[in-house]
Structure 1
Amino acid sequence: MHQDFASNLRLLCSYYKSIAEVCRRLDINRPQFNRYLSGRYKPSAHTLLRFCDFFGVEEHEILMPHEQFERLIKVRPRPVVVNESAHQESEHLARLQRAGISSLEKYLGYYFEYYESMAYPGRILRTLICIERQDDRVYYQRTERLREHPGDNVFHGVYQGIVNYLTDRIFMLDYETLTGNEMTQTILFPSFKNRVSRLSGLKLGVSGSGERMPCCTRVVYEYLGRTVDKQRALSLCGLYEQNSAEIDSSIKAAISNTMDENDRHFRALYI
């Protein structure tokens, strides 16, 4: 009989929603697992090692007398349990990433992003985008540099998110990391040329003003390269007037939020 081991195993399982969830995540047969919980059987060395890795304990610890093991567990941080819905969400995101990660390779690097400011209507906002690959995921960071009037303090907003490539469209979703009060989604046309120069699409978010109005605006990404002088690039970011000579006229035309009289939806412009 292995009652101490069985009691220790039941204690570890109590941190999870159910025994069934533990069995699914361990990929172990439920009747077999019940034998270990009953104390009638002790798992093989290989199976015991799997249990220890899963629950985050050492082999000699899980075999301790139950009262001693219980005291040990109580003074440790509680195991971080990922619930089933979060696990399913991670699987969905991983599947999306795998679907188009190879297609994103040529888009890695730095960009200037241009669009009509949601918080400051009538002015153009230029931000710095960095798209990079980490293992089997593609992430990006968007950095805003805002100064409403000359002499004002500079405010930096930092957004972090994920990039997916699905059937000839680039999907980007991020959140504002400093205050946590905003998410934006951007959908871009890919480049069908060998060399990426500009990408266009639509951005959906909320204005940074007090009204937090949901807004949609045309957006252009201007490719800068795999490496840049980030301080120099950030110094060029900020708010620009519509007549500013520092913004190319073709970019101004591409981010203009005009609609034809026959349009029934606000549409992106392919450039």
Structure 2
Amino acid sequence: MHKYTHLLATISTYAITCLWNDDMNQNFAKNLRHVCAERVSIAQICREIGINQQQFNRYLSGAGLPSAHNLRRICLYFDLQESDLLSDSEAFAQRRGQLNRNRPTAREDPFANAFPGDLARLRQYVGAYNIHFMSPSWPDCVMIGASFLDDLGGQISVRTIERGVGPEQVNLQRARYDGKAGFHGSRIFVVEFESEQEGSISETVLYPAHRQQRTYLRGMTLGLAWRPRRMPYSGRVIWKRADVSASVRDVFNLCGVYPIEHKVIDPIIRNFLLEKSGLQGEN
């Protein structure tokens, strides 16, 4: 089966090469440069498509043509048909200009390029976590919630659940936050929206201490307290990655509010949350 698949791909590539003339080649290169200029960088485009940047630069310069397979991947990435990239470059630019006039500009949408940022780096952190922070509603207690980072077609979604039983067996109101994560400058930025109450936005900045150590993500979070009033608060937060063998139920079972000295609080987490000055590094 693999032999025949390779043969068909080779035939398709040969057919495309024979059909393309110099004008089509130059049109393709110009049209490709045009759509690439709408993105953050060539390096990011190549990472997200999964194509060699040196080879991609040959396409941009008109010095090389993509195989049928790579042409399809490029078109899927830019949401174009093959005929679009092979069409007359002036007509293509005019159509793109009309299309872009109907879209929010970077000035109108300042978050257009914020998410996901460096997708390849961010994908390393996809998974389930228990999040920990000092509860603004219960002094000297730690709130443990559950957060899930998922790769949804090139965007990293974030879903956070806070629920459980607090001190003195007080039932907590269940809250769910949905948002996105971005990776910029070796930092993970999380913005989430909770719509079930009166609506609130939380913001978190996390940093991995070492590339090889992804168990703990330390940072700061900003949001609204649950009680006694919905007042703004900010504080340290630390995310601990769930074990590979852990189920979603296992992650949820840790949720709740616990005294800071409770045995369920990891000593590394306790030390970080109680540290008075500066975000500390890895132990």
For the 8 Å contact 1:189–1:270, the answer to whether it is kept is no
State the Cα deviation string for residues 124-179 of structure 1 (Å, max 9, x = none): 01111100110121111111013234554453211111100001111111111322
For the 8 Å contact 1:126–1:239, the answer to whether it is kept is yes
Q: Could you tell me which residue of structure 2 aligns to residue 269 of structure 1? A: 280
Q: Distance in 2 between matches of 1:227 and 1:180?
A: 36
For the 8 Å contact 1:163–1:171, the answer to whether it is kept is yes
Q: 1:183 aligns with which of 197, 201, 210?
A: 201
**TM-score computed with the length of structure 2 as normaliser:** 0.58
Does the alignment pair 1:110 with 2:121? no
Q: Distance in 1 between matches of 2:189 and 2:234?
A: 15
Q: Could you tell me which residue of structure 2 aligns to residue 157 of structure 1? A: 175
Where 1:215 maps in the other structure, the secondary structure is strand
Paired residue type of 1:178:
E
For the 8 Å contact 2:206–2:219, the answer to whether it is kept is yes
Q: 1:121 aligns with which of 127, 133, 139?
A: 139
Bigger Cα Rg: 1
**TM-score computed with the length of structure 1 as normaliser:** 0.60
Paired residue type of 2:256:
G
Where 1:246 maps in the other structure, the secondary structure is coil
Deviation at 1:248, TM superposition (A): 1.7
Task: Single out whichever of 173-182 and 147-156 deviates more from structure 2.
Answer: 147-156
Does the alignment pair 1:171 with 2:189? yes
Q: Distance in 2 between matches of 1:139 and 1:227?
A: 22
TM-aligned CA distance change 1:105 to 1:225, over 3 Å: farther
For the 8 Å contact 1:116–1:255, the answer to whether it is kept is yes
Report matched runs for 1:182-261 at 5 Å. 182-225=200-243, 228-256=246-274, 258-259=276-277
Q: Could you tell me which residue of structure 2 aligns to residue 131 of structure 1? A: 149
TM-aligned CA distance change 1:245 to 1:225, over 3 Å: closer
Q: Distance in 2 between matches of 1:205 and 1:182?
A: 8
Report matched runs for 1:30-69 at 5 Å. none
List runs of 5+ in structure 1 lacking aligned partners.
1-49, 55-81, 260-266
Q: Distance in 1 between matches of 2:183 and 2:115?
A: 8
TM-aligned CA distance change 1:214 to 1:152, over 3 Å: closer
Report matched runs for 1:71-90 at 5 Å. 84=104, 88-89=108-109
Where 1:175 maps in the other structure, the secondary structure is strand
Percent identity over paired residues: 20
State the Cα deviation string for residues 161-207 of structure 1 (Å, max 9, x = none): 11000011111111113224221111011243335111101111121
For the 8 Å contact 1:97–1:137, the answer to whether it is kept is yes
Q: Could you tell me which residue of structure 1 aligns to residue 161 of structure 2? A: 143
Count of aligned residue pairs for this structure pair: 185
Q: Distance in 1 between matches of 2:195 and 2:245?
A: 23
For the 8 Å contact 1:108–1:226, the answer to whether it is kept is no
TM-aligned CA distance change 1:88 to 1:206, over 3 Å: same
Q: Distance in 1 between matches of 2:229 and 2:275?
A: 20
* Backbone CA RMSD of aligned residues: 2.8
Q: Distance in 1 between matches of 2:118 and 2:244?
A: 20
Where 2:147 maps in the other structure, the secondary structure is strand
For the 8 Å contact 1:218–1:269, the answer to whether it is kept is no
For the 8 Å contact 1:109–1:225, the answer to whether it is kept is no
List runs of 5+ in structure 2 lacking aligned partners.
1-94
